Amino acid sequence: MSEASPAKAYALHLGVIALLFALSFVLPEYYHGLLARIMVLAVFAMGYNMLFGYVGLLSLGHAMFFGAGLYGAGLAIIQLGWGVPLAFLVGIACGAVLALVIGLLALRTTGVAFMIVTMMFAQVFSLLILYFATWTGGDQGQVVPQPARVLNLGATSLDLTDPTVRYMSALLLFSLVLLVTLAIVRSRYGRVLVAIRENEERTKMLGYDTFSNKLMAVVVSGTICAASGAAYALLFGYVGSSFASVQYSILPLLWVLLGGAATTLGPLIGTVFMYYVIDVSSGYTSAYLLIVGIALILLVLFFPKGILGTIRQRWLGWLP
Amino acid sequence: MTPLLATKGLSRHFGGLRAVDNVDFTLMPGEIRAVIGPNGAGKTTFVSMVSGRIQPSSGAIVFDGADITGMPAYVRVRQGIAYTFQITSIYANLSVYANVALPVQLTLRHGPSKSAIQAAVMTALERTGLADRAHMPAGQLSYGHQRLLEVAMGLALKPRLLILDEPTQGLADSEIDNFIVLVRDIARSATVLLIEHNMPVVMQLADRITVFNAGKILAEGTPEAIRENAAVQEAYLGTAP
């Protein structure tokens, strides 16, 4: 599992990236836009998977990290008038700092208590956004004006509202995070994270400082989720409090469970699958959430390890 | 010669129970020391305090001349104190190889290459006779082999002091013979502190024996002296001479 064929794993991941690149030229307009959104949200899921899948820490508050990136980047543009690159970095930094603080506090607990503590912090975050409505726009949210969403690179300027630019930006971020995740998972640090998930007490007695390893994982996870949130604000131009609500803490959990926890490509597959089911079922009935719910129950019953987790277990043991 | 390990007035109380009560203990480098005693005598509590899994209520622990009483467990491991669990505690879902790679990559953390890790893992697995099972999931090993894997993980840490907590529990007789050979081999490079109930194993392996009873050290000496000790026979073996 850990030693087999790095070349095969990297080839597969580069293949997926190439496929997504090629899809940009063949997809009809609606799906083109949808896939760009899915790729950004898959980054959110990958960040979540880092902590939930590999370290085994179930957080119910990751919306706050997505929200930190979203609001960090969005408000830097709307309130401070900063440029796109700087706003993106501000969003990521907000997520990283928040994750560090939350990690220091929440990691004093484990299991159910960790779930509750992270959920409470996310509630606080969400309520703060509503409280500071003059800045954040409250429950109405705010639109990032189109003229501000232009990336100036010397003589050329990239309009992030242009569908192709938006798609390629989303793909770039997705690819980067995917490859970083793959590298982390295959590294010695990744092996320690899995060891903590499997048996934390033993890992301590093998000489590892499990607290700081977990804290590091929370920060990496929160930072990736914030990158997704920041990209969302810049590419789709809406900064709203619903993204910091509890729903957006549960969604990444569902995407990861669907695709397969502790698989590098599972978050993408889960996110695509969920959007696909919603898309198809909403074409037939307005009660599409019922169909989504049934699909989820069936998956958990028959594929408890998720789509990719089951494939790995049955056929492709080398999948990272 | 400075002792490798010394405890002074080491105590641990659980409520009103004095699990370990004011224990002064000294272990010289290179020794194989067996700790014996009836169930509930405080043996596991004692070694748990040495390894850092349990904090003492009072007293001090000195390892190689330095006070380690307040040191977290993972730092002690890095200082050279390895502990193998009484209840088998391996990573059942990971391969045997990955189980041992984890401690190996810690000891090689200054620029380890993939081949260096592989070599060290295979050395530890060969010493414990698990090399041909390297790619099995650890949970599928037989119980005896899981015990050996525990020892291999301890060995991979290249410890100066290896604490074995009832390592032969549940092993077949043939496995025990191999185990005795293995511990002798380990003792050439590390000091061994062995909690053990199996008296033939203790008598064959130990240079010295420490007998615990009711949280205190009842007696200490060579295997012959302990065998002849009337108090020990009364407390532990239960047969008056």
State how far the Cα of A245 lies from the Cα of A125, in Å rounded to an integer: 9
State how far the Cα of A216 lies from the Cα of A223, in Å rounded to an integer: 10
State how far the Cα of A91 lies from the Cα of A89, in Å rounded to an integer: 5
Does B198 touch chain A if contact means CB atoms closer than 8 Å? no
Which residues of chain B have a CB within 8 Å of the CB of A2? 94-95, 97-98, 101
What is the predicted pLDDT for the residue at B234? 76
Average pLDDT for chain A? 92
Domain coordinates of chain B in residue numbers?
89-156
Residues 183-222 of A with CB under 8 A from B: 188, 191-192, 194-195, 198-199, 201-210
Q: Which of A194, A198, A207 sits opposite B106 (nearest CB)?
A: A207
Is the pLDDT at A91 greater than 70? The verdict is yes
Query: Between chains, do B98 and A2 touch, taking CB under 8 Å as contact?
Result: yes
Residue A17 Cα distances to A11, A29, A49, A142, A255, angstroms: 10, 20, 19, 32, 19
Residues 136-165 of B with CB under 8 A from A: 153, 157
- List all residues 6 or more positions away from A17 whose beta carbon is below 8 Å from its beta carbon: A171, A174, A175, A178
Nearest CA in chain B to A1: B95
Average pLDDT for chain B? 90
Q: What is the CB-side half-sphere exposure of residue B76 using CA atoms within 13 A? A: 29
Contact between B153 and B102 under an 8 Å Cβ cutoff? The reply is yes
Query: Which region among A109-118, A200-209, A229-238, B112-121 has the lowest average model confidence (pLDDT)?
Result: B112-121
Query: Which region among A14-23, A87-96, B110-119, B201-210 has the lowest average model confidence (pLDDT)?
Result: B110-119
Mean pLDDT of B164-178: 87
Contact between A135 and A79 under an 8 Å Cβ cutoff? The reply is yes
Mean pLDDT of A150-162: 83
Query: Between chains, do A195 and B85 touch, taking CB under 8 Å as contact?
Result: no
Query: Between chains, do B157 and A195 touch, taking CB under 8 Å as contact?
Result: no
Is the pLDDT at B109 greater than 80? The verdict is no
pLDDT, tens only, B17-74: 889 999 999 999 999 999 998 888 899 999 999 999 999 999 999 999 999 999 999 9
Give, in degrees to the nearest 5, the angle at Cα A124 between A120 and A126.
110
Mean pLDDT of B184-199: 92
Residues 212-231 of B with CB under 8 A from A: none
Is the pLDDT at B151 greater than 60? The verdict is yes
Q: What is the CB-side half-sphere exposure of residue A145 using CA atoms within 13 A? A: 10
pLDDT, tens only, B216-226: 999 999 998 98
Nearest CA in chain B to A3: B98
A90: confidence class by pLDDT, cuts 50, 70, 90: very high
What is the predicted pLDDT for the residue at A2? 43
Which residues of chain A have a CB within 8 Å of the CB of B73? 204-205
Query: Which region among A104-118, A281-295, B169-183 has the lowest average model confidence (pLDDT)?
Result: A281-295
Nearest CA in chain B to A199: B91
Q: Which of A187, A206, A312 to mutate to test the interface with B (most CBs of B within 10 A)?
A: A206
Residue B96 Cα distances to A306, B131, B231, angstroms: 25, 9, 44
Exposed, middle or buried: residue A140 (CB in 10 Å: 0-12, 13-18, 19+)?
A: exposed
For B43-97, the DSSP string reads HHHHHHHHHTSS--SEEEEEETTEE-TT--HHHHHHHTEEEE-SS----TTSBHH
Query: Between chains, do A1 and B101 touch, taking CB under 8 Å as contact?
Result: no
B241: confidence class by pLDDT, cuts 50, 70, 90: very low
